[in-house]
Amino acid sequence: MIKKLFPIFILFCVMIGVKAENVNYFVIGSTAAPFQIEENGKNHRGIITDIMNEVFQGLEKYNLVTHTLPFKRYIKELKRQQSWITYGSDSWTGPQSWNISQEGLFEVNHVFLTKKKHKFSKVSDLFNKRIVLITGFEYPELDQYIKSGRIKTIRVANHEAAISAIQKDRGLAFPEMEIRVKYHLKSMGLNFDRFAFSTIKDVLKTYKINLAFSRNFNHKLQLKIEKGLKSMKKSGKIKEIIRKYSEL
């Protein structure tokens, strides 16, 4: 009887041993493309999501569990939850800057999207004008001008609404990462030639995007993820993923 039960016991132990550990991956719903793209919480893809999936293919003991939330709830959950991964930058404030990956994924630069006729080169060109911002997003570089009333604002729900507001002259300019603006222009079928992409480097600076971890994230797992990111950068896989979403 003992001999018959022994193989079953071994199989049970093996099954327990290979059980994958869940890892929480947080996604911003509807406003994070092309970094995180989703459709009603499904069909997840995008630069960050594709990088995450590629890294976790080499981590068999871990199962990536995706949580999709509107931006404000997303930030609240990051503050509340004990263990998670998302994306962020050390140039930001809040949980997306608490514990970022040593390996930067790529650099982003910012532009002010305007109609072609509204090119400008200094922040004073925006004084007494109205710019378009996305509800829930923070714009620390512009705060002093907005709070003092020198720049007026209108808030909209997402990037498509912001671009539409520029088209309809509801605002002069829309500040955003260039890669995001161009992704949404392409997805909306709009011609770049109808718009200008103005830069004010002392206002909207270039910085790196990284993976972001909770403060007490599993240290051993974080090191494995860092190793995976280095391998992807060396092989050119990260550049390949970025091209996939920047050359639509």
Kindly tell me if the per-residue pLDDT of 13 is higher than 70. no
Kindly tell me if the per-residue pLDDT of 11 is higher than 60. no
pLDDT digits (tens, 9 = 90+) for 38-87: 998 899 999 999 999 999 998 989 999 999 999 999 999 999 999 999 99
Q: What is the mean pLDDT of residues 181-206?
A: 91
Q: Where are the domains of the chain?
A: 22-107+207-246, 110-198
pTM score: 0.86
> 110-198 falls under which CATH superfamily?
Periplasmic binding protein-like II (3.40.190.10)
Q: What is the pLDDT of residue 145?
A: 95
Domains 22-107+207-246 and 110-198 share a fold: yes
Q: What is the pLDDT of residue 69?
A: 96
pLDDT digits (tens, 9 = 90+) for 148-173: 999 999 999 999 999 999 999 999 99
Domain 22-107+207-246: which CATH number of 3.40.1830.10, 1.10.1740.10, 3.90.660.10, 3.40.190.10: 3.40.190.10
**What mean pLDDT value characterizes the chain?**
91
At residue 204 the predicted structure's pLDDT band, cuts being 50, 70 and 90, is confident
70 and 29 Cβ atoms separated by less than 8 Å: yes
pLDDT digits (tens, 9 = 90+) for 94-105: 999 999 999 999
How many CB atoms are closer than 10 A to CB 218? 15
